[in-house]
Amino acid sequence: MIELRRLRYLVTVADEGHITRAAERLGIQQPPLTRAIRQLEEELGVALFERLPRGVKVTEAGRVVVEEAREVLARAERIKETAQRAARGEQGRLAVGYTSSAAFHPFVTQQIRAFRDTRPGVLLALAEDGTPELTNGLKEERLDAAFIRSTATDIAGLTLDLLLEEKMVAAVPAGHRLAHGGKAALADLAEETFVFYRRPSGPGLYDAIMAACLAAGFSPNVGQEAPRMASTLSLVASGLGVSITPASMQRMNVEGVSFVRLKGTRGLTAPLLLATRKRDRSTLVDRFRREVRAAAEALKKDEGD
């Protein structure tokens, strides 16, 4: 196998047309350079240079080899640059998951867009799923990071960063008695039929809503369950019941659904968390985690000012 060092010597001699000047440019002595060129010629079985009284001239075979050498050296340099970009978290593949409710939080889309825009060399692979599926994806290394809503799942081996907490609102059919009342107490929904998304898909929010209803003096009558938050709102729009959702779900603008702010429900919030593996995190994942956490802190500071 031909050493890159010899190819570099070859190209330099060809560019300079003179062994002594090439040696000076390379920062080596002339005799070692002359020996290296001769060894390369012996290895290839062809003469690469025609020796002249003052300098050297590339032979026909030499011109072909020199062009090939330039391409090899350029590819080697690209490999080096690629490795350095990957080490800096500027290149590679990042698989990010999110729950259906997290997908509608503007913070999530903003962070994914910002990371993509500042790192065009990174391939972002996105996946939507329930919290248990996302945490399993992290453990099985199919995902690198995930925006989730709950800690009520098996998180062994994972790091959870609490990013933000948002208020919950009631989602009611457009013609509902509370649709245009501004605010309502959770107890005002005591006699309603509820539409929830299935607990396995979002155990944290499900349990928090159940606990808040019990604290308000009633056990909710769950008439329908849906696999995703968006499906829940579709059932509400169909008049099959009411639901409790994170406030960011209002961005869906589902026709036939009105959102009502809740009062007296201190502690009923929807957390937004970033989950990553504790071990074997790449530089790219660490960079993503740091930047998302910093953006969340900045947002909370702005909202507090």
Reported as a single tens digit per residue, the pLDDT across 235-280 is: 999 999 999 999 998 888 889 999 999 988 777 888 899 999 998 7
Residues 105 and 54 occupy one common structural domain: no
- Tally Cβ neighbours within 10 Å of residue 250: 16
Q: Is 92 within the bounds of a domain? A: no
Q: Identify whether 93 is part of a domain.
A: no
In a domain, 272, yes or no: yes
End-of-domain residue from the set 63, 87, 111: 87
Distances (CA, A) of 189 to 62, 86, 178, 212, 229: 86, 53, 9, 12, 19
Beta bridge partners of 128: 98
What is the average pLDDT score of the chain? Answer: 88
Domain annotation covers residue 149: yes
CATH number at residue 39: 1.10.10.10
> Do the Cβ atoms of 260 and 169 come closer than 8 Å?
yes
Q: Which residues pair with 69 in a beta bridge?
A: none
| Residue at 104: amino acid letter | F
In a domain, 232, yes or no: yes
User: Which residue, 25, 58, 87, sits at the end of a domain?
Assistant: 87
The answer on 164 and 44 residing in a single domain is: no
Residues spanned by the domain of 41: 4-87
How confident is the model over 188-220, as pLDDT tens digits? 999 999 998 877 666 777 888 888 999 999 999
pTM: 0.69
Please check whether residues 187 and 294 belong to one and the same domain.
yes
Q: pLDDT, tens digit, for every residue of 73-120?
A: 888 887 776 666 666 666 688 999 998 888 889 999 999 999 999 888
Instruction: Tell whether 164 and 139 lie within a shared domain.
Output: yes
Of 25, 52, 87, the residue at which a domain comes to its end is 87
Query: Given the structure tokens 């009105």, which residue do they identify?
Result: 258
Do the domain assignments include residue 94? Answer: no
Question: How many domains, in total, are found in the chain?
Answer: 2
Judgement on whether residues 204 and 116 belong to the same structural domain of the protein: yes
DSSP 229: H
Q: Which one, of 152, 148, 158, lies nearest residue 199 by Cα?
A: 152
Residues 133, 77 share a domain:
no
Distance CA 82, CA 248 (A): 39
pLDDT at 27 over 70: yes
